[in-house]
């Protein structure tokens, strides 16, 4: 996860937005969600119970505001390809570069289908 964090930190520094600090509550929420999505072989910001990223953050103990969630799935385990794809898409780039974000939770898993799954939650 250090590689993913470093790539995001570099992108944010180039855009002159604040440094993100690891948050264990956001990491736990991201890991739980991406693990469930891997088991279900699906990708969605809302889980099967209808829980949103903000609700998952609160349930995990995060006391700030969840500002955004990014998900990715694919065979490549290199975080550079994931961050590059997020950077190249306007909506996901806006989440990564959200100036109000102060905290980040990162998660990665490989499912039984040979797919790598990535999740980040940003909060303030």
Residue 49, pLDDT score: 87
29-72 pLDDT, tens digit per residue, is: 999 999 888 888 788 898 888 899 999 999 999 999 999 999 99
Q: Which of 16-20, 58-62, 71-75 has the lowest mean pLDDT?
A: 71-75
* pLDDT (average), residues 79-87: 92
11 with 87: CB under 8 angstroms? Answer: yes
68-86 in b/e burial notation, b at 16+ Cβ within 10 A? bbbbbbeeeeebeebbebb
Residue 86, pLDDT score: 93
pLDDT class of 1 with cuts at 50, 70, 90: low
pLDDT class of 11 with cuts at 50, 70, 90: very high
Query: Residue 120: which of 24, 31, 38, 10 has the closest Cα?
Result: 31
């Amino acid at each position: 996860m250090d590689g993913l964090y470093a790539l995001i930190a570099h992108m944010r520094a180039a855009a002159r937005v604040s440094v993100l600090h690891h948050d264990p509550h956001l990491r736990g929420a991201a890991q739980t969600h991406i693990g469930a999505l891997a088991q279900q072989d699906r990708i969605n910001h809302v889980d099967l119970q209808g829980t949103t990223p903000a609700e998952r953050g609160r349930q995990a103990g995060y006391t700030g505001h969840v500002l955004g969630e990014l998900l990715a799935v694919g065979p490549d385990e290199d975080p550079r390809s994931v961050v590059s794809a997020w950077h190249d898409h306007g909506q996901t780039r806006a989440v990564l570069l959200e100036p109000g974000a102060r905290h980040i939770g990162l998660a990665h898993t490989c499912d039984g289908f040979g797919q790598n799954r990535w999740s980040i939650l940003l909060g303030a």
